[in-house]
Structure 1
């Protein structure tokens, strides 16, 4: 074997141990509940269960077995005393009188069984604590063979002692051999635990409810739904989060309103000189120079409208219940009238809550883009419990994977020329994704199964 350190293989226990620990952590994470209510109850109830288990074990190990042992020792001592009296030659009372005295004062039902043998006890039965403690006590007190039968009778434990010429049968009430406080202890412990767990569950549900309301309000606001009737409540930390949400909502609304007002003024200021230019060109007459200038003005109007639509957003329209299937049919019918070849496969009804007109413009924009760069368009729509998925596929050249996120940047165009007829203004996809995300959904570009481009739209239900 070589002594070269390089030739010695290093053990792989470290890597295997790390992967094993990762698998163990992963399995533990899968066992941990996801909701805050379940985790809070787990934090409250698990220590309670452990405390009950430890208390039960300690009570069973100490109190129950100690009491049973002492009671068994008392019964064994009484039986041994009776046997001692029976074996003595000088006695002042008969067997019947002595057994009656034991029954009256010691609750031991005794009788002699002459010419019999010790009964056989089924050895397959597992010995209980009572059997082991009573057997140990009898071994300490008696020198005679004996058997203990705690299974045949319901309310008594039968003990048989071989006295040589006869069998002494002793029936001991079960209540003399063990204490019933174990049942009272368990009933009180588990009963109080159930009551406390139920109270903790109700309390935690009351504490978690404001967090759910805050999450619902934030989700509605993210989807553009007007949040009304929400007020901070619950614990101090939850109230702080609710107050911060309301302040954030007011700031965002104020910012949107300021932006809209500013853009309304910009729109008016830009359109006024363009209108004067149109009038002046109309007075100049029709020639090649004026036609070129009119085309430039139209391009400027088209670009200004695109810029304003991107900056203004769709915040003025309120979300409402609508059927996406009906909107898709209307947009596809219009595209077909314009000459597009569209293959539509959608469900009969796909209800959701969205800004209807904004969604219509978004779908029309995506379909027009697919028609511009591809010959055939395939649209698929599916409704799920959590939302609606729309797939718009074309058979065009597609977009390289490294450019599929860049095309959503404002004013980014794959066409390097500045001709709006070939590449547009670079705002179509940006506006479309902005509309979808403002309603709580998402828009992604993927490779179509036929090799073109796929627009994958997801809207929450």
Structure 2
């Protein structure tokens, strides 16, 4: 009885915890607290990281685009001024001016004049580089609309040709390009502008962006940042795992103590951990002692009342013998016999349910085999197949419960079949008879005290209607379940489910 109440309380608490949780989320989340919290923390951290990274990436991208546009505008205006300047010079003066600029250490642009455009192997297409080229082309079209041919490209300086004779940047003297191009510590992309300032004269301008490595900003989420995010996630999950295990370990001990108490055991509950758990442990211990005292007092009182009732019943039987009216005397005798049977049944119920023994790991074949042999020796037809399974139970209590089920099956069925099945962490014992079965609407009442159907009264006049209730109480005390149902092929079957460990 207590186990049933305790299961009801635990089920009520579980439903209260899940009441505000959507049903679809309840199906997704793991059932245990530790994986559930880890799952929630992982999803929460990942969601926050993804949202934060998206906001940060958008900010960096907008910032990079604004900076690149401003830099491209500045370079384009300088390039337009350089084109104006070289257009204003006579052709024979241009090489002299270029040579003077190189000897002075160069200017913002490295400049050459060629008779044709120089082929340039551009870098891979990237959004920021394309944005720079578009801004420069727009400004050239606005400031120098008379130029019909403008060629723009970004190229790496290693093999970049700078003149029509095939000279590359790497072949130039250092003082020519030290203020214009960048070769060390790592090469930076070079912006090349070529335009025909007059027929047969192409002005070649090469320069760097104000931020030489601006292409690094094309990817706002580089691999290093993702690695940092993964390290952060792993650290959060590790700390969550440590903290949750530290928190849930006392809860697991409390759950095991409650389950053991429901099975009739009283293991000590360690009062350690947080202050809240220590108070809970003390409250649980006090509650367990009160319930245990209540159950003991209730059983003693019930047994004492049942035992004491037998004396007045006996005296009443003696007094009925003194009655002259035979019919009245017989009626009194029938009522007193029925009352005596109820008292004996009550005493048997207390005695059979109150079995104090330790749990032992037993082999089901040995327990059921002895019971089957005894039934066969009494002339009953009973079938059983060996299973080879073990269970941790109270042997005498389980034997009494199974005996009640087998006796009922033998009384009300022509023959009995016993089978044992193994499930995930459980063992199922099925006792089936080949009798008439039970009406479906009466199945729920078979466990009630003193309930006997018409078929049962005809076959067993001495029964009290307590056997199934006693069997169910014993099975529930083992943490199991007893279910009754009609077999599809006829007869009643009792299914006993026990935990395997």
Q: Which has the higher contact order (CA 8 A, sep 6+)?
A: 2
Give 1:224-373 correspondences, 5 Å limit. 224-231=264-271, 233-234=273-274, 236=276, 238=277, 241-262=280-301, 265=304, 304-312=343-351, 313-349=353-389, 351-373=390-412
- In 2, the alpha carbon distance for the partners of 1:421 and 1:171 equals 107
Cα distance, 1:186–1:364 mapped onto 2, change above 3 Å = closer
CA shift for structure 1 position 72:
5.5
Counterpart secondary structure, 2:189: strand
Counterpart residue number, 2:438 = 399
**Structure 1 residues 451, 314: CA separation in 2 closer, same or farther (over 3 Å shift)?**
same
Distance in 1 (alpha carbons) for counterparts of 2:398 and 2:435:
24
Whether 1:199 and 2:202 are equivalent positions in the alignment is no
Residue 67 of structure 1: CA displacement? Answer: 3.3
1:37 Cα deviation (Å)?
3.2
TM-score by length of 2: 0.68
Measure, in 1, the Cα distance between the counterparts of 2:156 and 2:31.
49
CA contact (8 A) 1:346 1:379 kept: no
CA deviations on 1:43-101 (whole Å, 9 max, x unpaired) are: 54545444333332232222343135314532563365256325524579744665798
Q: Deviations over 1:100-153 (max 9, x none)?
A: 9888x86x877777534665879xx8x544234423443354446344458999
Answer whether contact 1:299 1:420 (CA < 8 A) is retained: no
How far is 1:220 from its partner? 1.8
In structure 1, the partner of 2:479 is 440
Q: How far apart in 2 are the matches of 1:437 and 1:352?
A: 15
Does the aligned pair in 2 maintain the 1:146–1:159 contact within 8 Å?
no
Deviations 1:376-420 (A, max 9, x none): 111110122321101111110111111111110011111399799
| Separation in structure 2 between the aligned mates of residue 432 and residue 151 of structure 1, nearest angstrom | 88
1:74 paired with 2:60, answer no
Q: How far 1:454 sits from its partner (Å)?
A: 0.5
Structure 1 contact 410–426 (Cα < 8 Å) conserved = yes
SS of residue paired to 1:399: coil
Q: How far did residue 256 of structure 1 move?
A: 2.7
Q: Does 1:30 align with 2:27?
A: yes
The answer for the alignment partner of 1:139 in structure 2 is: 137
Measured in 2, the distance between the counterparts of 1:101 and 1:219 equals 92
Pair 1:60-2:57 in alignment = yes
Pairwise CA distance, 1:430 = 1.0
Report deviation, 1:222. 1.7
Query: Is the CA contact (8 Å cut-off) linking 1:119 and 1:147 kept in structure 2?
Result: no
Contact 1:118 1:147 in 2 (8 A): no
Q: Is the 8 A contact 1:379 1:390 kept in 2?
A: yes
Task: Indicate the SS of the match to 2:454.
Answer: coil
CA RMSD of aligned residues (A): 4.3
1:110-259 alignment to 2 at 5 Å? 115-116=116-117, 128-143=126-141, 145-149=150-154, 156-164=188-196, 165-166=201-202, 168=205, 175-178=213-216, 191-231=231-271, 233-234=273-274, 236=276, 238=277, 241-259=280-298
Contact 1:148 1:157 in 2 (8 A): no
Q: How big is the shift at 1:440?
A: 1.0
Matches of 2:287 and 2:130, distance apart in 1? 72
Q: Which runs of 5+ in 2 are unaligned?
A: 1-21, 142-148, 159-185, 316-334
Q: Distance in 2 between matches of 1:95 and 1:320?
A: 103
**Cα distance change on mapping 1:113 and 1:337 into 2, 3 Å:** farther
The 1:60–1:263 alpha-carbon spacing in structure 2 relative to 1, beyond 3 Å, is closer
Mapped partners of 2:452, 2:420: distance in 1: 28
* Higher alpha-carbon deviation: 55-64 or 367-376: 55-64
Evaluate the alpha carbon distance shift between residue 260 and residue 34 of structure 1 in structure 2; reply closer, same or farther with a 3 A threshold.
closer
Q: Flag the structure with larger Rg.
A: 2
**Residue equivalent to 1:460:** 499
Q: Is the Cα contact below 8 Å between 1:110 and 1:169 reproduced in 2?
A: yes
Residue aligned with 1:422, SS: coil
Q: TM-score, normalised by structure 1?
A: 0.73
